[in-house]
Amino acid sequence: MDTMHTFDTQQELIDWVKSTAGNEWYSIPFQIEEQIDGEWTTPSSDTTFN
């Protein structure tokens, strides 16, 4: 069962991932989506964790 977490900004998402998964983020399957006009869709920019 996927768990959804929402953030207001990309940086908040990055900070949360780093605080919960640390440097092992790559070993966890996830999908980032962006809400545009109420619809969840492919983000307009990539998210980098390295």
Partner 1 sequence: MPLGIARSVLTTAPAGVATTAARAFFSDRSMSSTDVSTYQAEMTSGNRFANSNIISYVYWIRALDAEIGTNNYRLITYNIANGGGGCWITDNSGTNYGLGFNLYNGSLNIVVFSMKTGSTYGDTRSAFNTGFCDGNWHCVMVRCDYTNGAKRHLYLDGEDHSSNNTPGSAVDARTGTNTKLNDVRYVSLRVLAANDITGGYGNLNQDLPAADTGPIWFYDSDLDWTDATTRGYYYDASYTDGYVDGGTDGTAGGGSQPELYLYHSASTLVNGGSLSPTIATATAGTGTITILTTADGPGSGSTRT
Binding site for partner 1 (CB under 8 A): 1-10, 12-13, 16-17, 20-21, 23-36, 40, 42-48, 50
- Nearest approach in angstroms of CB 41 to partner 1 is 10
CB 16 → partner 1: shortest distance, Å?
8
Instruction: Judge whether 24 and 31 are in contact, CB under 8 Å.
Output: no
CB of 15 to partner 1, least distance (A): 12
Cβ–Cβ contacts within 10 Å for residue 10, how many? 16
